[in-house]
Structure 1
Amino acid sequence: MFVVRNYVTMGGTVACALAIGYLMQNGSAGRADQVEAVGELTESDQASVLAGLERITLTSSPTPSHSPTLAFGPQRGLQRAQPVPQTNCSLNARATAAPDASARLTLKAPCHQNEQVQILHSGLTFTASTDANGTLKLTVPALSEYAIFLISFGDDKGTVATTHVPDIEAFERVALQWQGETELQLHALEFGASYGDDGHVWASSESNGTGSVIHLGQPENSGTRQAQIYSYPNGPETPTGEIALSLEAEVTESNCGSALNVQTLELRGDRRLRSRDLTVTLPDCSTSEDFLVLNNLLQDLTIAAK
């Protein structure tokens, strides 16, 4: 009914200065107290940032000019002309550490109101939208301690935000990402829970599970990118045991019989971020299935006592 092809890749780590991201956003004249941290980045961090930078133009605020313009008036001779107002289209982004090993992003893009924006972080890519003022605020579960966020618009204008996430070692994470309008759901059954029980955790659940799933991105058209991230706080006081992970895909007239490319990113106990590329062939249009449940695509989490 469906075919799954796995292509497994494993990333290592390389030394890289996090201040690069800061300098690309603010220039060499930025204040030193705005640099959050310098540390070690994974290969996924470095490759994703460098690949994203190949096509975008990073912007920074221009230095304002306050020099008056002189003009001759009809009666009073030499007069000061009123300055011509100019629209500041520079992008400004800031990332700060948030609870639960997350980063809070704030983007101000006054010339990009109600526009889609693509955000890339450690291989994770999703699409969001600015509001009527060109502002975007959201919280993203971090996938690296020294987190870099590359932010770009459709006109290839972009910027970079960075922050230090000190509590990331207290969390294990599994992210699922894909492109298009197909609805995918990441489900976690914690410690023997069944569907609908406490411990059944997914993006729309109201159960009292220990972990949580958040959805990032907007399913507006085939070009948008979406992601779901399951986070589990692996501390000395949290439960231990097995967490079963599964993927559900909604089967519709627009996607039945088609191949769906998805990718998983896993940050587990050894703190190495791993990625897997998967291809899922959905059932043909003659079936009456509404959702396809895939139980063997994701490796279950084993939570051991600390």
Structure 2
Amino acid sequence: MLSKQVVLTSAMTLACALGIGFFMQASSSRWAGEAAAAADPQLPPEPGPAELKIENITLTSRRAEPALSDAQPQSAPLAQPGACNVTAAAKAGPMAMVSLTVSAPCHGGERLTVHHSGMTFTAALDRSGHFAAQVPALTRTAVYIAETASGGGAVAVAEAPDAETVERVVLQWSGSSGLEIHAREFGAGYGSTGHVWHGAASGLSAGQVIRLGDASLLAPRIAEIYSVPSRQTGRSGTVSVTAEAEVTGQNCGRDISAQALQLSGGRLSSRDLVIAMPDCDAQGSFLVLNNLVEDLKIASN
């Protein structure tokens, strides 16, 4: 029996021989004629391959390969972490009025809802996602929650110590209710200087009314707030506050819901209202709700 070494050596020799034979067979056609001619000069040389004629040559330029940087698609820069975050800031000023700002860069034009101690109103972010307003504080530590229609939100807090020295009434509703808040200071009549509402000239009365919310939105939430210092220099008395609604084609013959919030002596209370509006033949008249809140008591310094 052959040893393993002999078998392995024979196999390797056979593989080499086969390789050499393949190489020799492939090369013999080229060199066989030359070898025969060298061995016997009388033999005519073996004819080589026929000459290949090349005609009608057209010269073209080689298309340049694009550079790697040009061939690869350009990727957009990645958004920085936090670039789309919704942020809010609040800073208190005199009369417990808070400067509220909201920034939502990726929510431009969206509906914004603001909540504060039971008061709610809706507005629209501008095209850059910004909103700013003067919002009355209803508590000493005023917490504001701002949320966008797509779910983003932020919280802002402001310390408003003046909230304990301000009398404040909020009337809020949803939709086109036609409601307004009216205050008559120290016995003033309608249309006089002490008659305060959102359409009155500012700076002529002891208090002021502001309206928050964008009425052009679908099903808007609107809030009107009357504010007056609880102490007046050299003057004291009462302020009567009423809720009034003009009868229109949008609210006639149906019930409208509203809510009243009152801040007095630093304490906040609320009251829900349901108002039955007159039939539509009463359009143009006004419905007055005199018992919205208790009269405000103003003391003299």
Q: Normalized against structure 1, the TM-score is what?
A: 0.70
The residue type equivalent to 1:231 in the other structure is: S
Q: Does the Cα contact within 8 Å between 1:182 and 1:219 map onto a contact in 2?
A: no
SS of match in other structure, 2:158? strand
Match of 1:283 among 278, 282, 290: 278
Match of 1:268 among 259, 264, 269: 264
Deviation at 1:74, TM superposition (A): 4.6
| d(CA) in 2 for partners of 1:300, 1:75 | 79
Question: Residues 244, 274 of structure 1: CA spacing in aligned structure 2 closer, same or farther, 3 A cutoff?
Answer: same
**1:303 aligned residue:** 298
Deviation at 1:75, TM superposition (A): 6.0
| d(CA) in 2 for partners of 1:149, 1:91 | 13
Deviation at 1:222, TM superposition (A): 5.1
**1:235 aligned residue:** 231
| d(CA) in 2 for partners of 1:171, 1:136 | 26
Match of 2:192 among 184, 189, 197: 197
User: Are 1:214 and 2:214 counterparts?
Assistant: no
Q: Does the Cα contact within 8 Å between 2:262 and 2:293 map onto a contact in 1?
A: no
Deviation at 1:297, TM superposition (A): 2.6
The residue type equivalent to 2:90 in the other structure is: A
| d(CA) in 2 for partners of 1:146, 1:292 | 36
| d(CA) in 2 for partners of 1:126, 1:233 | 24
Is 274-283 or 221-230 further displaced after alignment? 221-230
SS of match in other structure, 1:159? strand
| d(CA) in 1 for partners of 2:130, 2:226 | 27
Match of 1:95 among 90, 93, 112: 90
Deviation at 1:298, TM superposition (A): 2.6
The residue type equivalent to 1:160 in the other structure is: V
Aligned residue pairs: how many? 230
**1:86 aligned residue:** 79
Gaps of 5+ in 2: 1-65
Q: Does the Cα contact within 8 Å between 1:174 and 1:265 map onto a contact in 2?
A: yes
Is 256-265 or 245-254 further displaced after alignment? 245-254
**What are the equivalent positions in structure 2 for 1:141-156 lying under 5 Å apart?**
141-156=136-151
Q: Normalized against structure 2, the TM-score is what?
A: 0.71
Match of 1:138 among 119, 133, 137: 133
Q: Does the Cα contact within 8 Å between 2:231 and 2:299 map onto a contact in 1?
A: no
Gaps of 5+ in 1: 1-72
Max Rg structure: 2
Deviation at 1:235, TM superposition (A): 2.6
**2:152 aligned residue:** 157
SS of match in other structure, 2:112? strand
**Whose RCO is larger (CA < 8 A, sep 6+)?**
1
SS of match in other structure, 2:245? strand
Which segments of structure 1 move beyond 3 Å, counting only runs of 4 or more? Answer: 73-76
| d(CA) in 1 for partners of 2:111, 2:215 | 12
Deviation at 1:85, TM superposition (A): 3.6
| d(CA) in 2 for partners of 1:281, 1:156 | 35
Deviation at 1:304, TM superposition (A): 2.9
| d(CA) in 1 for partners of 2:117, 2:181 | 19
SS of match in other structure, 2:164? helix
**1:115 aligned residue:** 110
Q: Does the Cα contact within 8 Å between 1:245 and 1:298 map onto a contact in 2?
A: yes
Q: Does the Cα contact within 8 Å between 1:250 and 1:292 map onto a contact in 2?
A: yes
| d(CA) in 2 for partners of 1:304, 1:124 | 27
Deviation at 1:103, TM superposition (A): 0.9
Q: Does the Cα contact within 8 Å between 2:97 and 2:136 map onto a contact in 1?
A: yes
The residue type equivalent to 2:77 in the other structure is: V
Name whichever structure is richer in helix by fraction: 2
Match of 1:258 among 251, 254, 272: 254
| d(CA) in 2 for partners of 1:210, 1:200 | 10
Name whichever structure is richer in strand by fraction: 1
The residue type equivalent to 1:290 in the other structure is: S
| d(CA) in 2 for partners of 1:82, 1:157 | 27
Deviation at 1:90, TM superposition (A): 1.0
| d(CA) in 2 for partners of 1:134, 1:278 | 34
